[in-house]
Amino acid sequence: MTIAIMGAMQEEIEPLLEFFTDVIIEEYGANKYYKCRYNSHDIILAYSKIGKVFASLTATTMIEKFGAKKLLFSGVAGAISSDLKIGDLIVATKLCQHDLDITAFGHPSGYVPEGSIYVQSDSELLKLSRDVAKELGISLKEGIIATGDQFVADRKRKEWIESRFKADALEMEGASVGVVCQALGVPFFVLRAISDSADDDAGVDFDEFLKTSAKNSAEFLAKMLEKI
Ligand code: 4EZ
């Protein structure tokens, strides 16, 4: 089976690239795709670049061109929930787009006709993450992740996203990857480690904790991969 692993930034997939051997690079759609074998699976690995558009392009490419049958996302996120601290892991049960807005026509935030406010991640991959967390004795939070094309560094915006979507963390790619995977019938999973709290200090915290948090997430994902 071909398994896709993606992140948005180089720092998010670097620890995973180091984990694999005999990696071949293929360029497509102005991006690099890293191919290798692992435990009798074909792996396709890439970072999309930041934001929903690049993430959708990469997810689609991994599925349609490289034949991915499952997609795992690893990266960092801003915390909304106060029980998430820097470095903590969160796995999305479902995701939404906090910046999708046709409320002028009476539709709810995050909704467009023929779409849905939330996209659900795969229950088997969720179960696998629970099992791995238990085995490693790591606490893994499950919750709602809100995605939008904004780096949120503002308490008001963060509180609005929390109240509107009941979101526990936020980032800039997850829901768009989910929408692509759902439409194309590919089970997906989004794992994030907290790099900041989406408040006034978010920019500084992000720069300080990007690498270590990205590594936390990547290492957990690698453990999951052993069991797929
Ligand atoms: C987007 N990613 C941030 C990319 C920032 C700067 C050069 C995750 C993320 C995030 N997204 C971490 N903290 C966030 C926040 N506070 N708001 C949005 O997926 C690139």
Q: How far, in Å, from the CA of 172 to the mean position of ligand 1?
A: 6
Q: Note the pLDDT tens digit of each residue in 14-56.
A: 999 999 999 999 999 999 999 999 999 999 999 999 999 999 9
Structural domain of residue 196, as residue ranges? Answer: 2-227
Q: What is the mean pLDDT of the chain?
A: 98
pLDDT tens across 159-177, in order?
Answer: 999 999 999 999 999 999 9
CA of 1 relative to ligand 1 center, distance in Å: 31
Give Cβ neighbours of residue 85 (< 8 Å, ≥ 6 apart): 79, 194
Q: Which atom of ligand 1 is least distant from the CA of 9?
A: 4
Distance 40 CA to ligand 1 centre (A): 34
Mind listing the pLDDT tens digit for each residue in 198-210?
999 999 999 999 9
Which pLDDT value is given to residue 74?
Answer: 98
CATH of the domain at 142: 3.40.50.1580
Q: What angle do CA 90, 95, 99 make, to 5 degrees?
A: 120
**How many structural domains compose the chain?**
1
Tell me the mean pLDDT in the region 178-184: 98
pLDDT, mean of residues 60-89: 98
What pLDDT is attached to residue 38?
Answer: 96
Mutation test of ligand 1: which of 73, 85, 206 has the most ligand atoms closer than 8 Å to its C-beta?
206
Q: What is the pLDDT of residue 132?
A: 98
pLDDT confidence bin for 5, thresholds 50/70/90: very high
Q: What percent of the chain has pLDDT over 70?
A: 100
Closest CA to 48 of 75, 66, 24: 75
Q: Is 170 in the pocket of ligand 1 (CB under 6 A)?
A: yes
Cα–Cα distance for residue pair 70/37, rounded to 1 Å? 15
Residues 89 and 206 sit within 8 Å (Cβ to Cβ): no
pLDDT at 223 (0 to 100):
97
The two structure tokens encoding residue 116: 């849905």
Q: Is the CB of 122 under 6 A from ligand 1?
A: no
Secondary structure class of 35 (helix, strand, coil): strand
Q: Is 11 a pocket residue for ligand 1 (Cβ < 6 Å)?
A: no
Closest by CA to 218, choosing from 40, 47, 16, is 16
Report the pLDDT averaged over residues 71-82: 98
Q: What is the pTM of this model?
A: 0.98
Q: Which residues are catalytic?
A: 12, 196
CA atoms of 133 and 138, how far apart (whole Å): 5
Please give the number of the atom of ligand 1 that sits closest to the Cα of 210: 12
Joined together, the tokens standing for residue 62 give: 């991994």
